């Protein structure tokens, strides 16, 4: 036989929904069978969802997952082979495996290289296996380096040396900015080193803070891109391979266009929020709409993720809230088509002030009184969340989270934060991008949904008269440049100063970064967009006296 058809299912499993994930696998298999495929493939750990974290250490969960694999093997015994990721247990040890189901039998390829950087901690969960040899599927000897295996030349080279004719790479690879270029560069290297065609199949969908972005592709020897699937969207395609004098080659097909950096970030935030709500059971969300740029962007993301009818915005003015802010919040809600209610906090603020007056006697008003306002807003929003069942969204950006310019138990209240890994300067960029673009994956309206005045006015928390963010922080372009150095690149104070920044300012920002760790430890999860997202990517101690001097 000189022809091999492979069906690729780039799909969105739900972690822990074993029956639902098995049903998705069956549906993909049926589509492949109808198309005359020899094999249908899904992604790494698809039967369980990914990443399982310590859930996979529960024997009952592993047993249930393996039972679904065995049931799929029986149900799909007549027709194309089915490849699906899941756990495996051999001699009492737990492995990350890719199971190939053929004729009722199961052949399991075990992962060799276990990632233990960034969001991955597989070495404490799984056992590393020896490199597996190729598996015969129809007319092809298929080599299966599982995700991280393909990042290491020795695995692919061993597979080629032991007879593999096509490399198939099942992945659970989460998004970060620039990740497609990294993947493509590495996979081209594997193709050049082995001389074999390569299929890279990646999961899609949000899981807690991570977004698996799909963007699967097929390379022919020499590194020619002959097939690509959309980023951030489920897709199913059939790839035809032909055997010639120089080995197997995939037939070129129409290529999906991958979005620009700004669009990819925005789509990642939309998908992560949509899936976080869908997979945790929330149909509606709630947020405080202040008239500022951060809450306006979160409202737009929420409307695009869930539809405007599922988004409840609340304006909570104090005596320091400007008329402009009231007007801007109303304009954002009106443009998006979301509900907007106003609940003044003046009365509650006065009541708290009266209650604390005897204890605060002889002190000057300051940040304590400012934080009371934020915490009152948090109390009221959480009450609305509890009463209505809508999940409260937090709206702080990465710049604020980095330096602690946020109030714990106040504006940090909530269940999810789409902007958690987006610096303030990129918040402005995202607003401008959304105003200029609309896509079919957006549930919100087209057009200008964030009025220009919201983007252009000086940022302010409006917790005291004439307050501006720059009263407490450097201008955001300077702040973000310093934070990029400290957080993203782990640069020293001296290296950042050498870039042209004031030494005292850099030291102050470094100090704020370290003393705010306790706030981030208690913050809501949020969309991972960079290689240094707070939480799993960047893990720092809370009690820490070291400073770079």
Query: Could you report the per-residue pLDDT of 257-309, keeping only the tens digit for each?
Result: 999 999 999 999 999 999 999 999 999 999 999 999 999 999 999 999 999 99
Give dist(CA 396, CA 421) in Å, integer. Answer: 9
**Long-range contact pairs involving 449-453 (C-beta distance under 8 Å, separation at least 24):** 449/300, 449/303, 449/332, 449/335, 449/336, 450/293, 450/296, 450/297, 450/300, 450/332, 450/335, 451/328, 451/331, 451/332, 451/335, 453/324, 453/328
Q: How confident is the model at residue 325 (pLDDT cuts 50, 70, 90)?
A: confident
Q: Over the chain, what is the mean pLDDT?
A: 95
Helix (H, G, I), strand (E, B) or coil at 290: coil
- DSSP states of 113-139 as a string? ----STT--GGGTS---PPP--EEETT
- CATH class, 3-253 region: alpha beta
Tens-place pLDDT, residues 388-399? 999 999 999 999
Strands 140-143, 135-137: pairing is: antiparallel
**Dist. CA 132–CA 170, nearest whole Å:** 14
Statement: residue 469 has pLDDT above 80: no
Please provide the size of the chain in residues.
549
Give the DSSP H or E segment for 399.
Answer: helix 398-403
Q: Which residues, other chains included, contact 59 with Cβ-Cβ below 8 Å and sequence gap of 6+?
A: none
- How far apart CA 39 and CA 3 sit, in angstroms, is 12
Task: Give the number of other Cβ atoms within 10 Å of residue 427's Cβ.
Answer: 25
First to last CA, the chain: 69
| The CA-based dihedral angle spanning residues 535, 536, 542, 543, taken in that order and rounded to the nearest 10 degrees | -170
Give the three-class secondary structure for 438: coil
Three-state DSSP class for residue 539: coil
Q: Mean pLDDT over residues 87-107, rounded? A: 97
Identify the band that residue 214 occupies on the pLDDT scale cut at 50, 70 and 90: very high
CA-CA distance, 87 to 17, in Å (whole number)? 15
The crossing angle, in degrees rounded to 10, of helices 293-306 and 424-436 is 50
Contact 231, 264 (CB under 8 A): yes
Which residue in 22, 52, 265 sits closest to 172, CA to CA?
52
Angle between helices 476-483 and 424-436 (to 10 degrees): 110
User: At residue 461, does pLDDT exceed 80?
Assistant: no
Burial of 179 (0-12, 13-18, 19+ CB in 10 A): middle
Residue 536 — pLDDT band, cuts 50, 70, 90? confident
The least confident of 144-148, 221-225, 534-538 is 534-538
CA–CA distance, 457 with 452 (Å, rounded to integer): 9
In this structure, the number of other CB atoms found within 10 A of the CB of residue 19 comes to 11
Q: What is the mean pLDDT of residues 2-9?
A: 97
Residue numbers in the known binding site for deamido-NAD(+) are 371, 400, 519
Residues marked active site are found at 44, 111, 147
Distance (Å, rounded) from C-alpha 216 to C-alpha 207? 18
Alpha-carbon span 65 to 16, nearest angstrom = 9
Cα–Cα distance measured from residue 187 to residue 168, given in angstroms and rounded to the nearest whole number:
11
Closest by CA position to 406, among listed 414, 415, 395, 417:
395
* Model confidence, pTM: 0.95
What average pLDDT score do residues 4-8 get? 98
CA distances 177 to 193, 262, 418, Å, are: 27, 9, 15
The string of pLDDT tens digits covering residues 101-138 is: 999 999 999 999 999 888 888 999 999 999 989 999 99
| pLDDT over 90 at 468, yes or no | no
Phi-psi group of 281: left, alpha or beta (phi > 0 → left; psi -120 to 50 → alpha; rest → beta):
left
Q: In what order do the strands lie in the sheet with 391-392?
A: 339-342, 311-315, 285-288, 391-392
In which band, very low, low, confident or very high, does the pLDDT at 471 lie, cut at 50, 70 and 90? confident
- The long-range contacts involving 117-124, CB below 8 angstroms and separated by at least 24 positions, are 118/531, 118/536, 118/537, 119/51, 119/174, 119/209, 119/210, 119/528, 119/533, 119/536, 119/537, 120/51, 120/148, 121/53, 122/96, 122/148
Annotated binding site: 173, 179, 288-295, 371, 395, 400, 519
CB atoms within 10 A of CB 103: 10
Domains 3-253 and 264-521 share a fold: no
**Region 402-420 average pLDDT:** 94
Q: Is the dihedral of CA 254, 260, 265, 270 positive or negative?
A: negative
DSSP 526: B
Domain ranges of the chain: 3-253, 264-521
The answer to whether residue 462 scores a pLDDT higher than 70 is no
For the domain made up of 264-521, the CATH class stated in words is alpha beta
Q: What is the mean pLDDT of residues 206-224?
A: 96
Binning pLDDT at 50, 70 and 90, where does residue 321 land?
Answer: confident
Q: Is residue 464 scored above 90 in pLDDT?
A: no
Tell whether the model's pLDDT for residue 485 goes beyond 90.
yes
Q: Give just the sign of the alpha carbon dihedral 491, 492, 497, 499.
A: negative
Positive/negative CA dihedral, 403, 408, 410, 413: positive
């Amino acid at each position: 036989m000189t022809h091999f058809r492979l069906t690729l299912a780039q799909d969105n499993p739900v972690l822990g929904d074993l029956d639902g994930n098995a049903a998705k696998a069956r549906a993909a298999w049926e589509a492949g069978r109808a198309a005359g495929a020899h094999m249908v493939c899904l992604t790494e750990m698809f039967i369980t969802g990914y990443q399982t974290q310590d859930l996979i250490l529960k024997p009952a969960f592993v047993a249930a997952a393996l039972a679904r694999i065995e049931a799929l093997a029986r149900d799909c015994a007549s027709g194309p082979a089915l490849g699906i990721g899941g756990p495996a247990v051999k001699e009492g040890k737990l492995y990350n495996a890719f199971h190939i189901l053929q004729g009722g039998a199961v052949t399991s390829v075990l992962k060799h290289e276990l990632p233990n950087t960034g969001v991955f901690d597989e070495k404490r969960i799984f056992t590393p296996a020896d490199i597996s040899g190729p598996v015969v599927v129809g007319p092809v000897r298929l080599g299966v380096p599982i995700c991280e295996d393909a990042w290491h030349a020795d695995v692919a080279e061993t597979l080629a040396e032991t007879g593999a004719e096509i490399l198939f790479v099942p992945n659970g690879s989460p998004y970060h900015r620039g990740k497609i270029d990294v993947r493509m560069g590495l996979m081209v290297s594997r193709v050049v080193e082995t001389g074999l065609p390569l299929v890279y199949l990646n999961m899609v969908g949000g899981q807690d803070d991570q977004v698996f972005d799909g963007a699967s592709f097929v390379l022919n020897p020499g590194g020619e891109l002959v097939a690509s699937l959309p980023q951030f969207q489920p897709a199913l395609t059939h790839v035809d391979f032909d055997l010639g004098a120089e080995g197997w080659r995939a037939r070129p097909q129409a290529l999906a266009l991958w979005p620009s950096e700004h669009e990819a970030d925005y789509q990642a935030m939309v998908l992560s929020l949509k899936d976080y709500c869908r997979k945790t059971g929330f149909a509606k969300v709630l947020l405080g709409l202040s008239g500022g740029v951060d809450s306006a962007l979160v409202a737009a993301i929420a409307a695009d993720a869930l539809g405007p009818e599922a988004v409840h915005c609340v304006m909570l003015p104090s005596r320091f809230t400007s008329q402009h802010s009231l007007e801007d919040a109303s304009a954002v809600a009106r443009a998006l088509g979301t509900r907007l209610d106003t609940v003044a906090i003046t009365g509650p603020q006065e009541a708290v002030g009266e209650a604390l007056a005897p204890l605060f006697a002889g002190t000057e008003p300051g940040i304590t009184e400012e934080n009371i306002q934020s915490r009152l807003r948090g109390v009221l929003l959480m009450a609305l969340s509890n009463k209505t069942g809508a999940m409260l969204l937090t709206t702080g950006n990465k710049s604020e989270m980095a330096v602690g310019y946020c109030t714990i138990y106040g504006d940090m209240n909530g269940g999810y934060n789409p902007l958690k890994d987006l610096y303030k300067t990129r918040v402005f960029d995202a607003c401008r991008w959304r105003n200029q673009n609309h896509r079919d994956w957006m549930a919100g309206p087209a057009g200008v949904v964030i009025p220009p005045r919201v983007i252009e006015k000086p940022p302010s928390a409006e917790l005291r008269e004439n307050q501006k963010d720059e009263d407490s922080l450097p201008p955001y372009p300077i702040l973000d440049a310093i934070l990029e150095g400290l957080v993203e690149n782990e640069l020293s104070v001296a290296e950042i100063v050498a870039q042209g920044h004031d030494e005292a300012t850099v030291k102050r920002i470094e100090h704020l970064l370290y003393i705010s760790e306790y706030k981030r430890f208690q913050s809501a999860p949020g969309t991972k967009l960079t290689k240094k997202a707070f939480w799993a990517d960047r893990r720092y101690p809370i009690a820490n006296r070291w400073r770079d001097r």
